[in-house]
Amino acid sequence: MGNLRRHAAALAVVSWYLMMPPDSARIPHSVDSTAPLPRWSIVANYTSQESCEKALADIQNTQRDPLVLDTTGRLKRFKRDDVALGIARAIKSGCVESDDFRLKGR
């Protein structure tokens, strides 16, 4: 019974991250969507894939910088006044499960 309870608890803590790629060091107003996932920034946390994808679709459809969704204040260091960069971030952002193996070591 204890094993089943631990397994259920592990499943219960899985959430979804809305993540954006790092800004490109080589191309102005662009992002590096080929960067390894641990280099991407977590913008917001969601309890379901559906809610993450809804937020992602909203920023992509309105071409808003994902930084508007940051409630942690951890992303203040990123520029917000670059409209083209904000659009690139929105287009290339994605939803990732919190226990995705590519995030290990983060």
Instruction: Look at the chain and report how many structural domains it folds into.
Output: 1
Query: Do the domain assignments include residue 8?
Result: no
pTM of the model: 0.83
Task: Tell me the percentage of the chain whose pLDDT exceeds 90.
Answer: 74
pLDDT tens track for 29-68: 999 999 999 999 999 999 999 999 999 999 999 999 999 9
Residue 27: give the domain boundaries: 15-103
- If you average pLDDT over residues 24-33, what whole number do you get? 95
* Residues forming beta bridges with residue 16, ordered by sequence position: 46, 97
- From the CA atom positions of the chain, what is the Rg in Å? 15
Query: Do the domain assignments include residue 25?
Result: yes
| Other beta carbons within 10 Å of 104 | 9
